[in-house]
A and B are shown apart, each in its own frame.
Chain A
Amino acid sequence: MIKHILVVDDSPIARRMLIKSLNALGSYEITEARDGQEGIEKFKTASPDVTFLDLTMPVLDGYEALIKIKEINTKAIVIVVTADIQPKSIGTVMGNGAFSVIKKPAPLETVKNILEKAENKLKDMQG
């Protein structure tokens, strides 16, 4: 069961938009990070069940952060939330182990659907 969610995005507005949807869908413990580097640090300390990760960020972008998160935990469920919807960007992050990619701004229904899929994946992994 998803209890803890990490939201990594440099835009405070993007974080608020996503967290509003998450709060509408359930009672989750939510941790925020403002760039990829902070995202990795928070991932290590918080061990979230699901991570929402932006791509275009300062300090460390989401591409690098994804690789490092997957090095820390190969089973990490990382959902990329991005405005960069070029096929190559999507292909790259999926190739690097992203669970899914959703396009900004993500409507509530999209967040709901992806959380359900993540929940099922988590159940499968927990056996």
Chain B
Amino acid sequence: MNTDKNEIFTQDQKDVLQEIMNIAFGNATAELSEIIDIYVVLSVPDIKTINSENLDLYVNNLIDLKKNTKIIEQKFFGEYNGAGLLIFPDINNDEIVTLLDYSDTDSIDYLEQVPVNEILIEIGNILIGACIGKITDLLDTYVTYSPPDIFSSDTSNKFCFSCNTDKDKTGLVMKTTFTFNGKNIEGLLLLLASNDSFDWLKKALDKFMESYL
């Protein structure tokens, strides 16, 4: 698979991106933990540039897509544009509903009213929004968002990873995996930056380096 095109981003730019992703995801998990009282075990982020045509293969190599795989997507638009994807490869509905604290509610009625997909969309919205928000803050820009959407492997509404980048072009993938501590829930967060962001992104990363290094 043609993954790295080192000429697009310098090693310094990739190192900065990795650290920014680390900071952004840490910020996002802190926000999530405030809302649903969950502790997220983080991993070291990974940065790759990947040809659009290889993106589906890249994701398939990362995770074993199952019938119950759920993918929450939220697109963002601006100088920095692309999509955030929160992937739960093997979702268990019973585990997901335990993420929310219903102690102050009539829990049985409330559970019946809140579909699992809605909970996942909200988690995706918080994590992707906080993550992208921190990145735009650090890189001094502004984006707007599409509403989050959810895709399931067991429906006709299947997800096309490569559709998020222009055909025959290269996308930037920032990946981090995580686990909800004490729950049997693992996930993967991918931030895809589209090719037409690259010129701006490289300048923004250089500016970040100048200000911090």
Q: Which residues of B contact A (CB under 8 A)?
A: 12, 15-16, 18-19, 22-27, 29-30, 33, 39-40, 42-44, 138, 181, 209, 212-213
Contact = CB atoms under 8 A, between A and B. Distances in A.
A11 B213 contact: no
Chain A: number of interface residues, binned into ranges: 20 to 34
A4 to B, nearest CB: 23
Given A10-B44, A104-B22, A104-B26, A86 B212 contact: no
Nearest to A35: B44
A83 B27 contact: yes
A116 interface: no
Nearest to B16: A13
Contacts of A85: 26-27, 30
A12 B44 contact: no
Given A13-B19, A20-B212, A20-B213, A83 B44 contact: no
Interface in A22-78: 56-58
Interface in A66-112: 82-89, 104-105
Contacts of B40: 86
Contact of A83 (B12, B16, B26, B39): B26
B212 A17 contact: yes
A10 B43 CA distance: 12
A114 interface: no
A104 B212 CA distance: 12
A109 to B, nearest CB: 14
B36 to A, nearest CB: 12
A117 interface: no
A35 to B, nearest CB: 9
A105 B15 contact: no
A11 B29 contact: no
Contacts of A89: 39
B205 to A, nearest CB: 10
A58 B27 contact: no
Contacts of B213: 13, 16-17, 20
Nearest to B22: A83
